[in-house]
Each structure stands twice: as structure tokens, then as C-alpha cells.
Amino acid sequence: MGADRPAAERTTCARHRNVETYLRCAKCGTPICPKCLVHTPVGARCPSCAAPPRSLAGRAPLLSYALSTAAGLSVGIVAGVVLVVAPFGAFMILPLLLTGFLVGEAMAAAAGRRGGSALAVLAFICTVVGPILGRAALVAPAVSVQDPVLRANLALVVALQSLGGFELLLLAVAGIIATTRVHDR
């Protein structure tokens, strides 16, 4: 069997032009030296062939984004309901900031602790929109309109009007806290 295969030709490494080698990448055939050789389960590879695909490296798949968004919105909606039902008065700052932390942690857990800029943006949006949707869910039964779409829109308007400027500012700060929980994990 060994006599049937021709001996490898001596050449120079594609990355290190002053190093002679007999080695080649098992995938693309590029000459490689022991310095740039990457051992893989399927043989010796050059660094280019051994690297993970760029489209998948460090990014959560689409399903993880969907699950993370659902988890973040759920936590945000529950927080919005709790903030309306349990009046915190002057201490409103603590639960709102805690909302940002909890939304970020829920989203990070749903994404398998993989982060990234896109997930951070989603965390910010879920932290700001979730509590508003929670307020709207409490207001919707009180709206005396038969059309469900119009009822939902009116409930959202009433929920937004019930928020003060300070609460909106705190929601934005909570959104920033959420982004820190999921970005660059």
C-alpha cells in the first residue's frame, strides 16, 4: 500500500515562505509547516480550513434569538404587571433597574450564554417594551371597545400615557443594564 502512493514533494509553507515542508492541509492541499498546522479530528488542517465558519462563530442561531426574545418579553411583561399591582412609590427605581437585570439574565440563559450585539439590542427592546405591554394587559379589560385590535391599541396608548418621564428614563437605564448582561458573554 505504501509503495503505491508517491512520496510527498518538498515545498515551502504557504504562510512561512522560509520554511520547507512535506505537509499539506488534508482539506485544501495547501502546504503547511508544523508552526501553522492545526490538528483536527479529521486530520491536519491549515488555519483557514480549521477555523469555524464566520457566519456561525460567536453568534446565537436564529432559534436562540427567538427564544431569548420570548424569555425577555415574558420577564418584562411580568415586571410591568408587578410594578402596577404593587406600588413602590419613591422606591420605584429599584424594581425598574432589577427588571433590566432579570430580562438580561433570562435572555442570556435562553441563548445558552452566547452574547453579541444583536442580542444586546433585543435585550434593550424587551426591557423597555415588556413593562409597557404588561401595563397594557392590565388596562385592556377596562377599555370598552369591542374590536380587539382597537382595544389593544387603546390599551397601549393608555399604558404609555400612564408612564412618567422619570419612569421612561429608568426603563432606558434598565435596558442598558440588560444589554450588559447579554453582550460579549
Instruction: Give the Cα separation of 178 and 76 in Å (integer).
Output: 11
pLDDT band at 119 (very low <50, low <70, confident <90, very high): confident
Assess whether pLDDT exceeds 80 at residue 152.
yes
Q: What is the pLDDT of residue 184?
A: 59
CB atoms inside a 10 Å sphere around CB 104: 30
| Residue of 92, 89, 79 whose CA lies nearest to 178 | 79
Mean pLDDT, residues 102-116 taken together: 84
User: Which tops the pLDDT comparison, 36 or 2?
Assistant: 36
- pTM: predicted TM-score of the whole model, two decimal places: 0.62
Q: Which pLDDT does position 60 carry in this prediction? A: 47
Distance CA 19, CA 145 (A): 79
Mean pLDDT for the chain?
A: 83
